[in-house]
């Protein structure tokens, strides 16, 4: 399974790993061994509204009772682990918590709208952690660049994001009323990501809770650092394999150049000249580009940096100076700048 940044397992993604293992294990046990307990995890709207069983908003929206939903949502969480690596476990968990709470409100609202407009009475919805999974498609669409991998029949492009969208479509078509969960999840993701509503400042995980979980659960669900050897998934095309190897080569070159620049900085003092690190990546013409060293005359003029992207990097904990230099050096590419800052 491939994500937009390649397959590196679940390193630095303990929350994603826990969401993969724990709900999936409980779902399989409920399906195979403890069917008589499934009623406690049913997302029964009628019981919530008429019998005030508010606890079903928690239990009914945590564990999937359909193994197809469990499988598809697990694959999507695995692909979306990139956001936990990029923003950290606390921000990632805050997004999931906010989307989970907002989607509960939108679930009830959309059910009432469907009954009022179309005359459809919906007494229950598919169970599981589906609202936040659909909400993650919002940052996936907005922040992950689209890279063409190959073409089918010469007209239809296959990108690094195609498989994720196919999985989302499969999950969307797995139940009769799952479209309500999908729509409420997407609306929740848009609301949480909105810079106008400022929902992320209200619905967030407190720092003391994040520290408590990092001390207790992170050692259990942490994964070992992957080896430097490139991992190629079964059934990968030649284009995907080549792309992964080139990404690995990029990282190795950047790391060696950064080490050299840091040694020079220790001897001479001053700031790392980021513009000397990125041009080989931007001006690459072929696989032998590491031998190419652009001269000062070939250096492009400084790129205008978006203040919004600078703010996003500063929210991740980087200084404004490093954020500006990384964005200028990466030609205002937020993903390239972020990946480099995270590695160094």
- Least confident stretch, 144-148, 216-220, 298-302: 298-302
Q: Which of 223, 241, 262 is the last residue of a domain?
A: 223
Q: What's the pLDDT at 235?
A: 42
Q: What is the pLDDT of residues 143-176, one digit of tens each?
A: 888 777 777 776 778 888 889 999 999 999 988 8
188, 98 contact by CB (below 8 A): yes
136, 167 contact by CB (below 8 A): no
Which residue's structure tokens are 């919002």? 138
Q: In this structure, are 26 and 128 located in the same domain?
A: yes
Q: What's the pLDDT at 242?
A: 52
Q: In this structure, are 60 and 196 located in the same domain?
A: yes
Residue 80, in any domain of the structure: yes
Residue 60, in any domain of the structure: yes
In the chain, the number of structural domains is 2
144, 161 contact by CB (below 8 A): yes
Picking from 82, 199, 198, 71, the residue whose alpha carbon sits closest to that of residue 140 is 82
Q: Which residue has the higher pLDDT, 188 or 154?
A: 188
**Averaged pLDDT for residues 52-65:** 91
Q: In this structure, are 215 and 310 located in the same domain?
A: no
Q: What is the pLDDT of residues 107-127, one digit of tens each?
A: 999 999 999 998 888 899 999
Whether pTM exceeds 0.75: no
Q: In this structure, are 217 and 310 located in the same domain?
A: no
Q: Which of 170, 193, 223 is the last residue of a domain?
A: 223
Domain containing residue 326: CATH number: 1.10.8.10
Q: What is the pLDDT of residues 267-276, one digit of tens each?
A: 555 444 444 4
Q: In this structure, are 310 and 188 located in the same domain?
A: no
Q: In this structure, are 190 and 326 located in the same domain?
A: no
Range of the domain at 76: 14-146+157-223
Q: What's the pLDDT at 285?
A: 41
Q: What's the pLDDT at 233?
A: 44
Domain containing residue 183: CATH number: 1.20.1540
Q: In this structure, are 60 and 168 located in the same domain?
A: yes
Residue 131, in any domain of the structure: yes
Q: In this structure, are 211 and 312 located in the same domain?
A: no
**Averaged pLDDT for residues 230-241:** 46
Residue 217, in any domain of the structure: yes
DSSP code of 329? H
Residue 321, in any domain of the structure: yes
Q: In this structure, are 337 and 209 located in the same domain?
A: no
Q: Which of 191, 223, 255 is the last residue of a domain?
A: 223
């Amino acid at each position: 399974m491939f994500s937009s940044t390649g397959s590196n397992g679940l390193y630095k993604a303990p929350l994603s790993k826990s969401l993969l293992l724990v709900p999936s294990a409980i779902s399989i046990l409920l399906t195979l061994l403890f069917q008589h307990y499934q009623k406690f995890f049913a997302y029964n709207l009628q019981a919530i509204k008429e019998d005030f069983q508010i606890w079903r908003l928690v239990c009914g929206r945590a564990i999937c009772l359909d193994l197809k939903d469990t499988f598809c949502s697990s694959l999507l969480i695995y692909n979306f682990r990139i956001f936990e690596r990029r923003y950290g476990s606390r921000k990632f968990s805050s997004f999931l918590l906010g989307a989970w709470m907002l989607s509960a409100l939108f679930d009830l609202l959309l059910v009432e709208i469907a009954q009022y407009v179309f005359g459809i009475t919906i007494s229950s919805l598919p169970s599981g952690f589906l609202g936040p999974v659909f909400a993650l498609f919002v940052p996936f669409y907005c922040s992950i660049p689209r890279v063409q991998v190959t073409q089918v029949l010469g007209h239809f492009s296959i990108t690094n994001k195609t498989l994720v969208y196919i999985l989302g479509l499969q999950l969307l078509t797995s139940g009769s009323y799952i479209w309500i969960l999908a729509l409420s999840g997407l609306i929740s993701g848009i609301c949480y990501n909105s810079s106008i509503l400022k929902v992320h400042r209200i619905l967030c995980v407190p720092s003391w809770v994040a520290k408590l979980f990092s001390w207790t659960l992170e050692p259990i669900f942490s994964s070992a650092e992957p080896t430097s050897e490139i991992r190629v998934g079964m059934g990968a095309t030649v284009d995907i394999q080549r792309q992964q190897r080139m990404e690995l080569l990029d990282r190795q070159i950047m790391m060696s150049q950064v080490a050299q620049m840091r040694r020079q900085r220790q001897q001479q003092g001053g700031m790392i000249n980021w513009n000397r690190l990125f041009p080989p990546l931007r001006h690459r013409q072929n696989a032998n580009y590491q031998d190419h060293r652009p001269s000062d005359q070939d250096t492009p003029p400084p790129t205008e940096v978006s203040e919004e992207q600078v703010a996003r990097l500063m929210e991740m904990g980087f200084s404004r100076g490093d954020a500006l230099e990384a964005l200028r050096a990466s030609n205002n590419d937020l993903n390239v700048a972020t990946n480099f800052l995270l590695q160094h």
